[in-house]
Every structure is written in structure tokens, then in C-alpha cells.
Structure 1
Amino acid sequence: MTEIEYVRGDATVPSGEGAKVIAHVCNDIGGWGRGFVLALSRRWPEPEAAYRAWHRDRAHNDFGLGAVQLVRVEPRVWVANMVGQRGIRRGGKGVPVRYEAVDTALARLADEVLRLGASVHMPRIGCGLAGGKWSCTEPLVAGRLAARGIAVTVYDHGEDGA
């Protein structure tokens, strides 16, 4: 099994050589405007535009919990919009992250990453605005990506973890 590497830095500026996929968790209601997605949108307009179009046309595509959308932003860099969050509000129903959906999305992502021959770069997915715990998410990342020999780098950046 490949080890997950932890670094201080910005996941929107992935380190290393070769093809790279920047993975993050999105909600299932089409909201894009807080958290890590703001850093993505500052660098590239394509992930947000693709996510919004994917959500808008959801009656005719696979948009939903557990789905993954790969968006090419540079010749050898893609952003993986992974739907792993139900709504955006925390309340009586618990936190928005849905670990089962994150697990499904990571499994789908692994197949695409292996096809591309890429490494995966991410913040601590599902742990910012989605309200999850890394102690619950890390085993999913390890099991779905690292266990398949995929190099994973997790970036810690700033107070919000984005």
C-alpha cells in the first residue's frame, strides 16, 4: 500500500511530476461559493462552470451523491468534483458529509486516476464546511486510493483546512 503524504501547502498548486488530479467534495444542491471551491475558482473557472452545468442538467446525467466529474484545467491537471455532501447546512440532522458517498466517489475516482496514470492531491476532504472528521475520511482515502498504489498528497493550508 502506498502511504498518504501530508504536506503544508495549497492543494490548488499540486507538487511533483506527472499527471495530477485535485480531488475535493461538493454538495448535492448545486452550491459553489464557500470553502476550498473558492481557491479552485481563483485559479481556474472551469471546475465551477462544469459543476454548475452538471447540476443544472442533473435530470439527464449521473449527478448525485457518489458521482465524480473530472474537469481538465491544465494539460496534465484535472479537478475531480466529487459529490459527497448532502446539502450545506448543519442542523438537527447532523453534518452534511456523507461518508458512503465519499467512499463511492473515491472508488470511481481511483479507476479514472489509474487510467490517467495520475497522482491525487487534496485538502482534508469532507472536513471543512461538510463537517466531517478526518479520522473517518482518511481510511476511505487509504482504502480506495493508496491501497491501489495511487500516490496521494493531503495539503494542510491555513486555519480552515482548505
Structure 2
Amino acid sequence: MSGITYVRGDATSPQGKGVKLIVHVCNDLGGWGKGFVLALSRRWSEPEAAYRRWHRGRSGNDFGLGAAQFVQVEPYIWVANVVGQRGIRTGSKGVPVRYEAIGAGLDKVAGKAAELGASVHMPRIGCGLAGGTWSRVEPLVSDRLVARGIEVTVYDFG
């Protein structure tokens, strides 16, 4: 069983051969405009457009905490929009990250990665604007992806 590979680089330019699935965390408000999503939108328009359509149609679909949406952006690259944060600001209810929702979303990512035969690529999800800590997210990635034999690469920008 492989572990998590850590590299310096840009998660929107995933390394390696074969099908790649880029995972990131979104909020449950339909907001897209800060953090890693800006790098995604500079590269491809489809993930943002799909996320906004998904949120607009939420009364008739699975949009919500723990849900995951998969968007193909190139023949061998997919993006997973995982709803893993409640709101966008740290306030009286704490930070926006929801670890249970990230875990549930990663379960869906594991299924899609297995279906596609894909490796998974991500920044340190839930740890930027969502306010989470990698010490809480990393075990979720290990349990939900690595334990199922899925190769995971985590990118630290810079």
C-alpha cells in the first residue's frame, strides 16, 4: 500500500501518467472566488460553471455537505468539487471546515478514482480558507483513499 506523496508544485498541473483526479473543497453557499478555486478557474472554466449550476439546482440534486461533483476538464484530468465547508467565514460557530463532510466526499472520490483508474491530486484540502488543520485531514485522506490502494499526491505551492 502506498502512502501520500508530498511535492512542491501546483495541484492544477498534476504530475505523473494516466488519469488524474484533482480534489478540492468547496463551501455550501455556492460561493466560488477565493483560494485554490481561483487557480482552477484560471486553468479551466468548467469546474466553476458546473459547481454554480449544481448549487442553483440544489433543490433537485445531491448538493450539500459531503457531496462530490466530478467534472472532466481534459481527456485524462478530472476535477472533484467536494462540499466540505459550511459557509465561508470563521465566526461564533468556529471554522468553516467540516471534517465529516470531507470524509464523506473522499468516499465518493475513492469510488470515482477506482472507476477511472485514476490517481488523486490535491492541495492540503480544507486547510486554507476553510480553517482546518492537516493533522485532522491527513488521516481522512489515508483512510478513505490510500487504504483503498489509491495513489495520492499532495501539492504544497511554491
Q: TM-score, normalised by structure 2?
A: 0.99
Aligned to 1:75: 75
Consecutive aligned runs of 4 or more in structure 1 exceeding 4 Å deviation: none
Shift of 1:84: 0.3
Residues 102-156 of structure 1: CA deviation (Å, up to 9, x unaligned): 0000011101100000000000000000000000000000000000000000000
Q: TM-score, normalised by structure 1?
A: 0.97
Q: CA deviation at 1:2?
A: 1.7
What residue ranges of structure 2 are gaps of 5+ in the alignment?
none
* SS, match of residue 83 in structure 2: strand
Q: Distance in 2 between matches of 1:37 and 1:2?
A: 28
* Percent identical: 72
Distance 2:80 2:14 in 1: 13
CA distance, structure 2, for counterparts of residue 2 and residue 109 of structure 1: 17
- Residue identity in the other structure for 2:134: W
Structure 1 residue 74: deviation in Å?
0.1
- SS of the equivalent of 1:128 reads coil
Unmatched 5+ stretches in structure 1:
none
* RMSD (CA atoms): 0.5
Deviations 1:15-35 (A, max 9, x none): 000000000000000000000
1:61-112 per-residue CA deviation (whole Å, 9 max, x = no partner) reads 0000000000000001000000000000101110000000000000111011
- Correspondence for 1:40: 40
Amino acid at match of 2:26: C
Alignment partner, residue 54 of structure 1: 54
